Amino acid sequence: MSDSGPGSGTDPDRVPSLARRVLAPFADRSVAERLVISLAAIVLSIAVGFVIVLVSGRVAECTTAAWTMPVTGMGFCYDPVEVYVVLFNGALGYPFAVGEPGLLNPTWSPFNLSFGLTLSETTLLIFTGLSVAVAFRAGLFNIGTQGQLVVGALATALTVLAAAPLLPEGPAAGVVLILVGTAAGAVGGGFWGAIPGALKAYADANEVITTIMLNFVAANVAYVLVLEVFRAEGSSVVATRYVPEYAQIRPWLFSDSSDFALVALAAGVVCIAGLYYLLEHTPFGYDLRTSGVQAAAAEYGGVNAKLTTVRAMTLSGAIGGIGGSVWVLMSEGRWMASVPDLGFDGITVSILAGNNPIGVLPAAFLFGLLKGGALEIGFQTDVPTELVGVLRGLIILFVAMPEFFRMIGRFVGMGSGGTGGVAATSSEAGEAATEGGETDA
Amino acid sequence: MNPAVHLDGITKRFPGVVANDDVDLTVERGSVHALLGENGAGKTTLMNVLYGLYEPTEGTVVLDGEPQSFDSPRDAIDAGVGMIHQHFMLVDPMTVWENVVLGNEPKAWGGLRVDKTAARDAVTELSERYGFDVDPDATIADISVGEQQRVEILKALYRGADVLIMDEPTAVLTPQEVEELYGVFEELTDQGKTIIFISHKLGEALSAADDITVLRDGLNVGTVSAADVTREDLAEMMVGREVLMEPAASPQPPGDSVLEVTGLCVDDDRGVEAVSDLSFELRAGEVLGVAGVDGNGQSQLVEAVTGLREAASGEIRYRGESILGTTRRERIDGGMAFVPEDRHERGLVMSYDLTENGILGSQHDPPFARGGRLDWRASRDHAESVIEQYDVRPPDAEATAESLSGGNQQKFIVGREFERDPDLVVAMHPTRGVDIGSTEFLHDRLLDLRAEGKAVLLVSSKLDEVQGLSDRLAVMHEGSFSGVVDPATVTEEEIGLLMAGEPLDDDSVERAAVHGDADPTDGGPDEDPMDGTAGEGVDA
């Protein structure tokens, strides 16, 4: 990964090393290419979504047309422009003024409800995305982040509920309970991740199968446990008691109903940085990455493949478990049976991010935006939520097929013809290795 | 009568490499012809030309007197050429007859339906005619590898093949299945079919073929009749009479024992014994060379010593202590350097840059790892020092391993391992693919290591290399040393004999551990994937 930017020719000591390391990737052609491709993907998905909104607006029945096609006078029930404006603008809480003079909305504040919802989803997906990414980098396909999150969430709720009476009420106890609860979530999730890791390493069980199965086990065991043992008295749903309010991660600046705390987002960003550091700057990360891209070379380099598998899955599960802690302590305040599909969305987030921890941030934010925007469309328009789901799916679909855009790029004669982003998935790297073998002489 | 196959002056060039250089090959109808050569000699490339996968750069393919021009294997099949690849291309859940007719099904109902009865009957008839003993209704997944191979042959025959090319047909077979295959060969040639098979095993070519053509470095060394040739002749033809280097005398007597192998047995991936009851000792300041035709257990020996493969039985002592059961990591930390035979799979992480590759194996050790973090500056300095000393090009520590040519990759690996300050260096084909100038440099460095008192286990298929660098030369054949000789006095003929598994009565033999009944198949690894696509020894 040589940086082709203008900085590469300068004396490395003249540029501060940290700044150089942070900025170098952006000068990298493959990163720039990735950004361009992501943008093109979103534009193209909007174009396709535009047509879908129009067609379904023509099929649907309504009393007044939301949009009338010029010249033909043909009426449509849904206005595609409005849909996309609400989707993106609404997800941020309308920072842009639409139909008013001036571009920006003067009354906009970043601490609004919609943006809070967007960031809340972003925060949760950072953890699940990281969980999947770290396993991926070790060459393991962890489908079980969902189960690890469920277990971690339950461990957190039960630990905090059990520990709360032991401490005097107050903010200090809150901090302690949150830390202890999060640790319990990490341990619970880590344990749930270690199981398929050990099965893979010592019993040669395919981790895709075992993690999928353990998702069901986790969901149902947790359900029965809460239903039979830990259910809150008088609760109409299967849920534990609420953890004390002082032990919840409270919103600060953002509104209460958004269930979003900046502290949790900050913790997510710290996790991203920590995982990046772990992967790129520690011997353990080196072992893990090498196992992922070229297992035979890792073995040659003295990496214990079995142990690395168990460790990577434990770490992956622990991060997923922390996601569960955040879900309990920030979003719900209790464990409840209807756990959202954060773990599964984490797989897509990780793949969109090229399994790179840094990339998880924008990928999770895109998902958050789409989630927040979808809620907003439900509030503001008559467009059915199913249609919004289709539009979200389209955006993700296009973003997830970079090779398609590289092909178009080559076809129209732009681009380098080079393939493979910075963070190649293991299969890409494998192909690259094979190519290297063929061209070798 | 025209020969079944005549290749006339075939030259096949790949960018930077000549895989086949003006090769002539004539195969008579109804004969079995072996194409013999080391990995990378160009055997597979030549056969891919005959099968229409590659278009020759120069030369013509003549079948039965008719010059041919193949655009694809389809054309070759239509002209009666069939190829059976080393890795079978069968659909596991389908039956034998379904696999045989796949793509050429007899049709019924005006092409709407496969005529199953006709298809099954045709396959049964074909199988019976050649005495194949394969149940047409058996599922591929349920039958043995030998039977699967016969299904592949049936597929080719069903498509009307007169000339059958088989790529390393014995590589996946058990000894009994090999015997059966030879029977199949006879059956086929009796009925006028022509067989060309690719091999790097001498015994196989001698027992199964009528004629043998030896390729070396893309050149046809000669075609001989199997009846008039000995194993030694063939070994010589394969390895070649290259200019012998003047063996450099060791400056000091050998020191303490570094590596002591006793009664070592190692199995290959198929569970077949590849190293059999092998014993030797290697002392500090000594180079033990291991020569032999590839696939005689050298890989398994080296993997057992370096910790990449478990020994089935026996003992390996390193600096006086048993290292059986110790991990690869512990052996690296114990001062064992290892140049592996496969640089793409093991020696380098292809997608990493040289800085990252430079610490492979040392990623937990200072100065690269300190306090739980990797010091990339130190790693980079290290990579740059290896690059400079070993003349790796381009001299860029940020270049990815896959962007380097094979010779430069090799130089980097050798440099990394030699500069580890090891007690024992295990080097397998250390100069494979490296140009002549750099080869000399690597040889000098190896002798420097010896002078510094390191022990070196050198495995190479280049005879001049092992002979010129070793203090003692062991020749490996079918899992054991057929002899350990003094490289300064041994003749090439004697090495040829030993490579063929025949013991010497000469004085120069210190010890000859010959195995009783020679197993016709040795437990060698599969053919190097580079074979055919790139000639070894050529630095692009």
Domain containing residue B69: CATH number: 3.40.50.300
**pLDDT at residue B242, as a whole number:** 45
**pLDDT at residue B349, as a whole number:** 93
Q: Which of A25-39, B237-251, B282-296 is predicted with the least confidence, judged by mean pLDDT?
A: B237-251
Q: Which H or E run contains B355?
A: helix B354-358
**pLDDT at residue A24, as a whole number:** 57
Buried b (16+ CB within 10 A) or exposed e, B297-319: bbbbbbbbbbbbbebbebebbbb
B376 vs A12: CA distance, rounded Å: 14
Residue B247, pLDDT > 60, answer: no
Q: Is B373 on the interface with A (CB under 8 A)?
A: yes
Residue A428, pLDDT > 60, answer: no
**Highest mean pLDDT: which of A10-19, B12-21, B96-105, B519-528?**
B96-105
Taking the complete model, does pTM exceed 0.80, yes or no? no
The residue type found at A427 is S
B204 vs B33: CA distance, rounded Å: 11
Q: Which of A285-299, B161-175, B349-363, B418-432 is predicted with the least confidence, judged by mean pLDDT?
A: B161-175
The 10 Å Cβ neighbour count of residue B49 is 26
**pLDDT at residue B268, as a whole number:** 86
Pairing of strands B194-199, B211-216: unpaired
Chain B residues whose CB is inside 8 A of the A281 CB are 373-374, 376
Q: Is B351 on the interface with A (CB under 8 A)?
A: yes
3-class state of residue B334 by DSSP = coil
- Contact across the interface for B351 and A2, Cβ inside 8 Å: no
Pairing of strands B163-167, B81-84: parallel
User: Whats the size of chain B, residue-wise?
Assistant: 540
Chain A residues whose CB is inside 8 A of the B344 CB are 433, 436-437, 440
A40 vs A51: CA distance, rounded Å: 17
**CATH code for the structural domain at A113-362:** 1.10.3470
For A57, A262, B176, B270, the CA distances from B525, given in Å and listed in that order, are 64, 58, 19, 10
Residue A423, pLDDT > 60, answer: no
- Contact across the interface for A441 and B538, Cβ inside 8 Å: yes
R_g of chain B, CA atoms, integer Å: 25
pLDDT bracket for residue A22 (50, 70, 90): low
**Which is more confidently placed, B210 or A420?**
B210
DSSP B439: H
Residue % of chain B over a pLDDT of 90: 37
B487 belongs to a structural domain: no
- Contact across the interface for B328 and A440, Cβ inside 8 Å: no
**pLDDT at residue B246, as a whole number:** 54
3-class state of residue B76 by DSSP = helix
Residue A339, pLDDT > 70, answer: yes
Residue A204, pLDDT > 80, answer: yes
**pLDDT at residue A342, as a whole number:** 93
Span B88-114, average pLDDT: 85
B248: its two tokens: 């450099």
B245 belongs to a structural domain: no
**pLDDT at residue B505, as a whole number:** 64
Pairing of strands B424-428, B373-374: unpaired
Q: Which H or E run contains B198?
A: strand B194-199
B419 vs B409: CA distance, rounded Å: 15
Sequence-distant (≥ 6) Cβ neighbours of residue B536 within 8 angstroms: B38, B39, B40, B41, B217, B432, B433, B530
Tell me, letter by letter, the H, E, C secondary structure of chain A: CCCCCHHHHCCCCCCCHHHHHHHHHHHCHHHHHHHHHHHHHHHHHHHHHHHHHHHHHHHCCCCCCCEECCCCCCEECCCHHHHHHHHHHHHCCCCECCCCCCCECCCCCCCCHHHHHHHHHHHHHHHHHHHHHHHHHCCCCCCCHHHHHHHHHHHHHHHHHHHHHHCCCCHHHHHHHHHHHHHHHHHHHHHHHHHHHHHHHHHCCCHHHHHHHHHHHHHHHHHHHHHHHHCCCCCCCCECCCCCHHHCCCCCCCCHHHCCCHHHHHHHHHHHHHHHHHHHHCHHHHHHHHHHHCHHHHHHCCCCHHHHHHHHHHHHHHHHHHHHHHHHHHHHCCCECCCCCHHHHHHHHHHHCCCCHHHHHHHHHHHHHHHHHHHHHHHHCCCCHHHHHHHHHHHHHHHCCHHHHHHHHHHCCCCCCCCCCCCCCHHHHHHHHHHHHHHCC
* pLDDT tens per residue across span B354-386: 999 999 999 998 889 888 899 999 999 999 999
Q: CA end-to-end span of chain B, whole Å?
A: 43
User: Count H helices, E strands: chain B?
Assistant: 16, 25
**pLDDT at residue A317, as a whole number:** 96
Of B328, B364, B399, the CB nearest to A283: B364
The alpha-carbon gap from B167 to the nearest alpha carbon of chain A, in Å, equals: 19
B399 vs B452: CA distance, rounded Å: 32
- Contact across the interface for B363 and A438, Cβ inside 8 Å: no
* pLDDT tens per residue across span A124-180: 999 999 999 999 999 999 999 999 999 999 999 999 999 988 988 888 899 999 999
For B13, B123, B147, the CA distances from B133, given in Å and listed in that order, are 42, 12, 8
Q: What helix, strand, coil percent values describe chain B, rounded to 5?
A: 30, 25, 40
Chain A residues whose CB is inside 8 A of the B346 CB are 296-297, 299-300
| Chain A residue with the nearest C-alpha to that of B333 | A302
Q: Which of A68-72, B117-121, B416-420, B533-537 is predicted with the least confidence, judged by mean pLDDT?
A: B533-537
Q: How many residue contacts between A and B have a Cβ separation below 8 Å?
A: 114
Of B15, B374, B533, the CB nearest to A283: B374
* pLDDT tens per residue across span A276-332: 999 999 999 999 999 999 999 999 999 998 999 999 999 999 999 999 999 999 988
The alpha-carbon gap from A421 to the nearest alpha carbon of chain B, in Å, equals: 12
Q: Which of B183-192, B453-462, B511-520 is predicted with the least confidence, judged by mean pLDDT?
A: B511-520
Mean of pLDDT over chain B: 83
**pLDDT at residue A17, as a whole number:** 59
Mutation target for A interface from B350, B374, B409, B426: give the one with most A CBs within 10 A: B350
pLDDT bracket for residue B241 (50, 70, 90): low
Residue A421, pLDDT > 60, answer: no
Please state the domain count of chain B.
1
pLDDT bracket for residue A119 (50, 70, 90): very high
**pLDDT at residue A209, as a whole number:** 93
- Contact across the interface for B17 and A290, Cβ inside 8 Å: no
B202 belongs to a structural domain: yes
| Chain B residue with the nearest C-alpha to that of A433 | B350
- Contact across the interface for B17 and A441, Cβ inside 8 Å: yes
Question: Residue B223, CB half-sphere, CA atoms under 13 Å: how many?
Answer: 15
* pLDDT tens per residue across span A359-399: 899 989 988 988 888 888 888 888 888 888 898 888 888 87
Buried b (16+ CB within 10 A) or exposed e, B329-350: bebbebbbbbbbbbbbbbbbbb
Chain B residues whose CB is inside 8 A of the A354 CB are none
**CB within 8 Å of chain A, chain B residues 397-426:** 398-402, 405-407, 409
Q: Where are the domains of chain A?
A: 24-109+381-424, 113-362
Chain A residues whose CB is inside 8 A of the B539 CB are 441
Residue A255, pLDDT > 90, answer: no
- Contact across the interface for B346 and A297, Cβ inside 8 Å: yes
Q: Do B7 and B23 meet the contact criterion of CB atoms below 8 Å apart?
A: yes
Range of the domain at B93: 5-239
B106 belongs to a structural domain: yes
Residue A4, pLDDT > 70, answer: no
**pLDDT at residue B526, as a whole number:** 40
A17 vs B275: CA distance, rounded Å: 52
pLDDT bracket for residue B511 (50, 70, 90): very low
B183 belongs to a structural domain: yes
Dihedral sign computed on CA atoms, order A23, A28, A30, A32: positive
Residue B424, pLDDT > 90, answer: yes
The residue type found at A372 is G
**pLDDT at residue B532, as a whole number:** 37
Q: Residue B484: beta bridge partners?
A: B474, B511
Buried b (16+ CB within 10 A) or exposed e, B236-267: bbbbbeeeeeebbeeeeebeebbbbbeebbbb
